[in-house]
Amino acid sequence: MNENILGLVAGVLTSVSMIPQLIKVIREKNVEDISLLMLLVLISGLSLWVWYGFEKDELPIIISNAFAVLVNISLLICYIRYNNKK
C-alpha cells in the first residue's frame, strides 16, 4: 500500500474519532464528563503535529492533524459555552 494513502487513512480515522463526542456534546449541551486539561493537551499535541508536518512537508500529517485540531477546538468552544461550573 502506498505510504501516503496509509497515512491519510490512519489520519482520517484518528481525526474523526472525536466527532461522535462533539455531536453528543452539541445535542445534550453537557460537558460534565469532558476534561478541560485533556482537551488543552490534545490540542497542543495536535498543533505540534501540524507544525511537524509542515517541517517535513508531509501532507497526510498536516491535513489529518489540522482537521483534528479544528474538531477539538470546536469541542473546547462547546466546553466553554456549556460548562455550568462557576
- Which pLDDT tens digits describe the chain residue by residue (86 residues)? 777 788 878 888 988 999 999 999 999 999 999 999 999 999 999 999 999 999 999 888 898 899 999 999 999 999 999 998 65
Would you say 61 and 11 are in contact if contact means Cβ atoms under 8 Å apart? yes
The residue to which cell 511537524 is assigned: 52
10 Å Cβ neighbour count for 33?
Answer: 8
10 Å Cβ neighbour count for 7?
Answer: 17
Residue 16 — φ and ψ, nearest 5°?
Answer: -85, -5
Cα 80 to chain center, whole Å?
16
